[in-house]
A and B are shown apart, each in its own frame.
Chain A
Amino acid sequence: MTIEAGMKAHAYPTKEFFVKMITRDLTLSDCILDLIDNSVDGAWKSAVGGPTELKQDDSLSKYLISISITPKGFIIEDNCGGMTLDDAVNYAFSFGKPEEYKRDPYSIGAYGIGMKRAIFKLGTNIRIHSTYLTSNGVRESFAVPINVNDWLSTNEPPWDFDIVTDVHLRENGVRIQIDALTPEADGLFGSEAFHQDLRRIIARDYSLYLERGLKISLNDSPITGLQIALRESAEFAPMRFAYKDRTDGNEVGVEIIGGMAALPPPPEATEPEDLAERSRGAELFGWYVVCNGRIVLAADRTVSTGWGTDDWPIWHPQYAGFIGVILFSARNAVALPLTTTKRSIDDSSEVFRRARPRMRELTRKWIDYTNLRKQALEDARQKEQQAHPVPIYSVSLRPSVQLPELIARDSEPVANVQYSVPLTRMRNLARKFGSANLPYREVGLRSFNYAYREKVGEE
């Protein structure tokens, strides 16, 4: 082939890329969370929710998301207002969102890929059914049935899915039913461990919505949100600090809360060891990153939230007991430091990078406290027990964390030295120090002190 004038390199997408490639970036749990996100966005829009503040109220108490997972199939159904026909025709089934698309304010969905990628990962026979209220106040319903194998049979444009009429759902909302599960989903959906883990993930990642009344059930069993609380007393006071940032013309609200975690209630059996006591809540400790109300990173102790980066040590069990929460809230979800999987953060995000020094400062103070704590354990435990748990939404504003000033026992860490030298040389040196019969230990100490004075100087 030779280069000719006007020659172009083709850049056409294929359907297989969307069905089989980009679905590899997420787990089955992520897929289900992506579908829950769509329902939550619906609820938030129906409730005319503003910025996703941290508070406890009943603003979402009318909304229910029911998930059913069995080896035979998957159903998610909500009463969160439904998808309009216009949305279905023009946006919901496109891959990516066009420039003119008006995103719902303070939504979690940002990229226009979540729902499609999720359903393709879960199965091949899909029906998306919506009942909604038109602008004239009339209830309308439709369904989009998708047979993935048929759809994949040709790449020719136009790429579209049929829209058919359907009966009304009981309430305005969306129902997604997937019958022919993919082999991965088929295998895992029968696992009780998968169900339990999913329940825990939902309880944790949607806890701020659950706190505001949203109901989520898995296989008819309601899910209770994880309670994140910090301890407060005369000597312990969590930090709570908020500011506004901007990126690409979008305002982003940032709020940082953190301090000593309130551990879960003690188990029946008393565990005498301090470490054991502190490790009970180990899976809760670390940083939580929240984007428009959705927890995208939970109890993180990795480089994603800064641990092990410059001037920030890697996580160590000594730091147990720390919880930090950073909340980003933006009218335009594109401004959030979200990855497309919503299970991590885009650490190249300017908004996130600007927040990191404040996160490090808070973490640093906790680390310093735990360093002192080792040397004043009794005092520390006594003070910690006097502190009472406060839910994060009730924490008062305070620009920096307050931790007790512990008085360390006089026990500077020591290094023990052990080495072998020829006996004659040891005696020669001992003689120079005044007596050939000096204990070896004494010769060692004196020679160390001698070298220290020479090399380091007097203290």
Chain B
Amino acid sequence: MPSFDAVNYSLRPSKSIQRQIVFEGVRILQDTMDLQRLAYIGMGSIWFTDFVMAHKILGVEDMVSIECNEIGFRRARFNSPFITVRVREGLSSAVLPTLYVDEFYANRPWMIWLDYDYELNESIKLDIRSVVENSPGNSIFLVTFDGKDSRYDEAPQRPQLLRSLLGSVVPDELSKEECEGEQMRETLANLVIQFMGSIAADMARPGGFVPAFRAIYQDGPPMVTVGGILPVRGDEESAKSTVGAANWPCRPPRPIKAPNLTIREAAVLQSQLPCPRKLSREDVQALGFDLEEEQIEAFQSYYRQYPAFAQIIA
């Protein structure tokens, strides 16, 4: 079943927070890098949430959404939010090479976000290689995939599975323990970032690869988003300094696990923020309801990005 039939994309607070963080980061990059005429390339599904953000936050006009499902393609075209969004039907492995040689896209930077809803596999790996090797200078590249450990064979086989997927970047001493539970997500994030860097180095990409994005989030299955900047030669240092600054938002230290709150709960909690000290369970109880400490901490960390959802009666 295509994921757009399974998931209402607008009701996932952690994903929404993660998107906000990423677009905030790229907004910062717009001040320090030449991202004029940025094009957005993604997998907009039928919801196009990231496309709307790319347009509204970054001012991006030209956008391409890749859709491999036949019905999904028609629905995507129907739901396209702006006239400048082009929906291309086909697998990313088939559509991407056409964009590399399309003069309209080939000579301008891209923000490309390959947002898969399944686990890292051979075809995702080949897409990653293809984008690092072929995307234009000053492109920003993100990839999202499922990080649930059980998607990757049995635990003892996981180090070998990762080795066969990602090759030399996987250390010989990678242990079974590093491929279990939350540690598996950390391992996947680190290795895929290193994989991107080594592709850029192997092909002597001018400007190389600057790691910039690393977020793990969970609404349903835990997801991993990683990526970086593929600067033109000469812009590497500026890119490194931007993403190395203390205010760079795109490497949250802990997985984003936002609580599902009612509008009223979110509004009441928000009215207590910003607050220099950590809110406690007692604080929330004093407000008239209750949450777990972990949920309170997540909300306090990301209340600025927390989505405000409401049911619309059509």
Interface residues of A (CB under 8 A from B): 310-311, 350-351, 353-354, 356-357, 361, 399-400
Tell me if B204 and A350 are in contact (CB < 8 A).
yes
Tell me if B126 and A311 are in contact (CB < 8 A).
yes
Can you list 23 contacts pairing A with B, beta carbon distance less than 8 Å?
A: A310-B167, A310-B202, A311-B125, A311-B126, A311-B129, A311-B167, A350-B204, A351-B204, A353-B202, A353-B203, A354-B203, A354-B204, A354-B205, A356-B202, A356-B203, A357-B129, A357-B133, A357-B134, A357-B203, A361-B97, A399-B101, A400-B97, A400-B101
- CB-nearest residue of chain A to B134: A357
Flag B196-209 by CB within 8 Å of A: 1 or 0 each.
Answer: 00000011111000
Q: List residues of chain B with CB within 8 A of the CB of A399.
A: 101
Q: A354-B205, A356-B203, A400-B97 are in contact. Are A310 and B168 (CB under 8 A)?
A: yes
- CB-nearest residue of chain A to B167: A310
Most A C-beta atoms less than 10 A away, residue of B167, B203, B205, B206: B203
- In the complex, what distance in Å separates the CA atom of A361 from the CA atom of B130? 9
- CB-nearest residue of chain A to B122: A311
- CB-nearest residue of chain A to B101: A399
Q: List residues of chain B with CB within 8 A of the CB of A400.
A: 97, 101
- In the complex, what distance in Å separates the CA atom of A361 from the CA atom of B203? 13
Closest-CB distance, A380 to chain B (whole angstroms):
21
Tell me if A353 and B204 are in contact (CB < 8 A).
yes
Q: List residues of chain A with CB within 8 A of the CB of B126.
A: 311
- In the complex, what distance in Å separates the CA atom of A357 from the CA atom of B134? 8
Flag B76-87 by CB within 8 Å of A: 1 or 0 each.
Answer: 000000000000
Closest-CB distance, A30 to chain B (whole angstroms):
27
Closest-CB distance, B152 to chain A (whole angstroms):
13
Q: List residues of chain B with CB within 8 A of the CB of A351.
A: 204
- In the complex, what distance in Å separates the CA atom of A370 from the CA atom of B167? 25
- In the complex, what distance in Å separates the CA atom of A278 from the CA atom of B80? 50
Closest-CB distance, B9 to chain A (whole angstroms):
24
- In the complex, what distance in Å separates the CA atom of A353 from the CA atom of B129? 14
Closest-CB distance, B122 to chain A (whole angstroms):
9
Q: List residues of chain B with CB within 8 A of the CB of A354.
A: 203-206
Q: List residues of chain A with CB within 8 A of the CB of B134.
A: 357
Q: List residues of chain B with CB within 8 A of the CB of A353.
A: 202-204
Residues of chain B in range 114-143 having any CB-CB distance to chain A below 8 Å: 125-126, 129, 133-134
Most A C-beta atoms less than 10 A away, residue of B101, B134, B204, B205: B204
Q: List residues of chain A with CB within 8 A of the CB of B203.
A: 353-354, 356-357
- In the complex, what distance in Å separates the CA atom of A400 from the CA atom of B97? 10
- CB-nearest residue of chain A to B169: A310
9 other A-B residue contacts (CB within 8 Å) besides A357-B133, A400-B101: A311-B125, A311-B126, A351-B204, A353-B204, A354-B203, A354-B204, A356-B202, A357-B134, A400-B97
**Top 3 closest A-B pairs, CB basis?**
A350-B204, A353-B204, A357-B133
Closest-CB distance, A335 to chain B (whole angstroms):
13
Flag B86-100 by CB within 8 Å of A: 1 or 0 each.
Answer: 000000000001000
Closest-CB distance, A288 to chain B (whole angstroms):
20
Most B C-beta atoms less than 10 A away, residue of A311, A356, A399: A311
Q: List residues of chain A with CB within 8 A of the CB of B206.
A: 354
Q: List residues of chain A with CB within 8 A of the CB of B204.
A: 350-351, 353-354
Closest-CB distance, A222 to chain B (whole angstroms):
41
